[in-house]
Amino acid sequence: MDFFINTDQASTASPKAPGVGNAMMRFIDAGAFNASRGIYTGAFDTEAMLYRTREQLSELFDAPRLKNVTFSSGVTLAINALLYGILEKGDHVITRAMEHNAVIRPLAQLCEEGRIDFSTAMADEEGRLDPERISDLIRPQTKLVLITAASNVVGTCLPIREIGKICRERGILFAVDSAQAAGTFPISMRDDHIDALAITGHKGLMGPQGVGALLLSDAAAGLIKPLVCGGTGSFSQLETMPEPLPDRLEAGTLPLPAIAGLNRALDWIEETGLTNIHKHKADLTAQFLRRVNKMPEIRVFGISDPEDREGRVAVVSLQADGMDPSELSQHLSEAGVLTRVGLHCAPRAHQTIASYPEGTVRFSFAYSHSLPDIDKVADILKSIVQTS
Ligand SMILES: Cc1ncc(COP(=O)(O)O)c(C=O)c1O
């Protein structure tokens, strides 16, 4: 395909931040040494790179302590590690009725095993959640509220600070799935009262696939047991997992080339500035919404007001009259516009916004897109819906 515009960025950032590929290659070409397992320069260099990446994550998300920054493969493993690590029989969890399967499936599995119970707070048709809906569901057994910072289906942001405040006041742990918000919106573990922040490196953080993190408050760090056990290169005399973090949660060899790539991506975010990234993506989204709002054949799901720049990330879901979403996505792809179609791993979201079972065509934008790119995408969309 000669011409294409990739508006499937919510799935994975493509292209990655400038320099990510080179950073990964440099790590491998320099010897790809493991950390914590050798007393030679290459091992120390890897240790330093790991330490710096923990620092970058800690700075970006205002984590309470460096050792509470633990690496994972992405949000999915981070959430599983959290749920299996802190929940006990009889515990109750609250989430939102629009969450990604990375949240719903481990909760459903734990529920099926008879270990926990969970409740879902209803969002409105735009994906907004009134924090009071969370309060209404709290029981004496509620140990955790787990919510996404921004919907991967409609892009709507959640009032995480208000929800975090409720959790703090009620003595409940608060966890956030940052998959769609990290790298675009500021998230502060301290100010937002977050006890566990699940991070993926390959979306808004613009890094490679295969790396993410789970950042913990001291309260959550004190409770969490390891989901995966194995070698850590430390405390080798012990037959059980070491108690200190991050070792307790980091069994096995870490995805070091991916961490080297994430390290470069996080530098790029710092150089570019979150405010600039958010502003540019909000400009792109507003322009796209202005254009599609003028197409009578298109129905936008979620927030369609182009002026609502703080209430959403750069993710727009839509359907076209009389056309199956997969047919529309196929036509777009043939014309060079890459989108994602279907339920986007979040069936309950589509039940909430009334697009179940067919789902939506999802457009999601990157900092590397320009306003003319958005106009081109809108022109192509318009010509497809008008000619079919
Ligand atoms: C809201 C949300 N949560 C979780 C995930 C899962 O992330 P990962 O595949 O990196 O574990 C995604 C990815 O699509 C997502 O959009």
Cα of 73 from ligand 1 centre, angstroms: 11
Specify the amino acid at residue 68. N
- Write down the pLDDT at residue 258: 98
Whether 1 has a pLDDT exceeding 70, the answer reads no
- Hunting for tokens 């529309």 — which residue is that? 328
114 & 191 share domain: yes
Q: Name the nearest CA neighbour of 9 among 376, 344, 262.
A: 344
Residue nearest to atom 16 of ligand 1 (CA): 152
Mutate to test the pocket of ligand 1, among 14, 100, 104 (most ligand atoms within 8 A of CB): 100
9 & 25 share domain: no
142 & 24 share domain: yes
What residue numbers bound the domain in which 47 lies?
Answer: 20-271
Q: Give 109's contacts (C-beta < 8 A, 6+ positions apart).
A: none
212 & 309 share domain: no
Model-wide pTM > 0.95:
yes
79 & 218 share domain: yes
Cα 315 from Cα 285, distance rounded (Å): 8
Mutate to test the pocket of ligand 1, among 12, 14, 71, 75 (most ligand atoms within 8 A of CB): 75
220 & 337 share domain: no
Mutate to test the pocket of ligand 1, among 103, 200, 209, 214 (most ligand atoms within 8 A of CB): 200
245 & 286 share domain: no
Whether 92 has a pLDDT exceeding 70, the answer reads yes
Domain end (from 231, 246, 271): 271
CB 228 within 8 A of CB 283: no
- Write down the pLDDT at residue 194: 98
Domain end (from 231, 255, 271): 271
Position in ligand 1 atom list of the atom nearest CA 148: 1
> Is 168 in a helix, a strand, or coil?
helix
- Write down the pLDDT at residue 384: 96
236 & 307 share domain: no
Q: Cα(first)–Cα(last) distance of the chain, in Å?
A: 23
Domain end (from 242, 271, 300): 271
Confidence of residue 252 (pLDDT cuts 50, 70, 90): very high
236 & 288 share domain: no
Cα 191 from Cα 168, distance rounded (Å): 11
Average pLDDT, stretch 44-73? 97
Cα of 43 from ligand 1 centre, angstroms: 31
Position in ligand 1 atom list of the atom nearest CA 150: 1
290 & 244 share domain: no
Percent of the chain with pLDDT over 90: 92
Whether 343 has a pLDDT exceeding 70, the answer reads yes
Position in ligand 1 atom list of the atom nearest CA 75: 11
- Tell me the pLDDT tens digit for each residue of 316-342: 999 999 999 999 999 999 999 999 998
- Tell me the pLDDT tens digit for each residue of 185-206: 999 999 999 999 999 999 999 9
CA atoms within 13 A on the CB side of 124: 10
The CATH number of residue 337's host domain is: 3.90.1150.10
CB 127 within 8 A of CB 349: yes
Query: How many domains does the chain divide into?
Result: 2
317 pocket-lining for ligand 1 (C-beta < 6 Å) = no
154 & 108 share domain: yes
Percent of the chain with pLDDT over 70: 100
- Tell me the pLDDT tens digit for each residue of 118-169: 999 999 999 999 999 999 999 999 999 999 999 999 999 999 999 999 999 9
152 pocket-lining for ligand 1 (C-beta < 6 Å) = yes
Position in ligand 1 atom list of the atom nearest CA 76: 11
Which run of H or E residues covers position 134? Answer: helix 131-137
8 pocket-lining for ligand 1 (C-beta < 6 Å) = no
101 & 246 share domain: yes
102 pocket-lining for ligand 1 (C-beta < 6 Å) = yes
The CATH number of residue 211's host domain is: 3.40.640.10
